[in-house]
Amino acid sequence: MKTKARAIRIGENGQRLSSPVTMREDMTILAVDNYPPFLLNVVSNAWQRMTAAIYRTRFDLGIVEWRVISMLAIEPRITANRICEVLRLDKSAVSRALGQLLAKGHVHFEAQPSDPRKRRWWLSMSGRRAHDELLTIALDCEARLIRGVSPDDLEAFLRVTRRMLANMEADIEAPGDGGADETE
């Protein structure tokens, strides 16, 4: 069975201390507490539930709008495509967020004379004020997220997470089968 073979290979070559799979009766199943994609998603979902409620209540903004505001503070006068690239969001989500932010007066744009569809976006003064308030809330939420995590563990987590992201981006650029042995 391919799944069992992969689990054995992982255990035998020393790449993992904990296995991402376990056995239940006669079936190989995920050991979700040892499976990084599961844990990353669960933490992300919990984070979004906590922060989205605050952003929506206090600012009538959602997570995507906050991400776009944050990106425009980091890199003003950028295109929607650049926002999509950095935030890894789809174009429709970014377009909706920019439309909502524009309607609220938080952003301005300038159309390119050569192609009016290519707009460069930046924060208005109200967008900058919203950014500053949202940033304070985001940092407070982050402090709650990392409470009890040592500075060394946090830095190790950041290094590992950056490595995982680089691995995923390399796989997107050169799609493959996720590393499975093609002879199986």
* Strand pairing class (115-123; 107-112): antiparallel
Q: What is the CATH number of domain 52-143?
A: 1.10.10.10
Tokens of 148: 């009890």
Mean pLDDT in residue range 26-52 = 95
Give pLDDT, residue 14.
57
Q: Where are the domains of the chain?
A: 1-40, 52-143
Helix (H, G, I), strand (E, B) or coil at 6: helix
Which tens digits make up the pLDDT trace of 44-84?
Answer: 999 999 999 999 999 999 999 999 999 999 999 999 999 99
Q: Per-residue b/e over 25-46, b at no fewer than 16 CB within 10 Å?
A: eeebeebeeeeeeeeeeeeeee
Q: What is the largest CA-CA distance in the chain?
A: 66
148: CB partners within 8 A, 6+ apart:
none
Which of the residue ranges 9-13, 18-22, 109-113, 137-141 has the most confident prediction, judged by mean pLDDT? 137-141
pTM (two decimals): 0.81
- Nearest Cα residue to 76 out of 128, 114, 10: 128
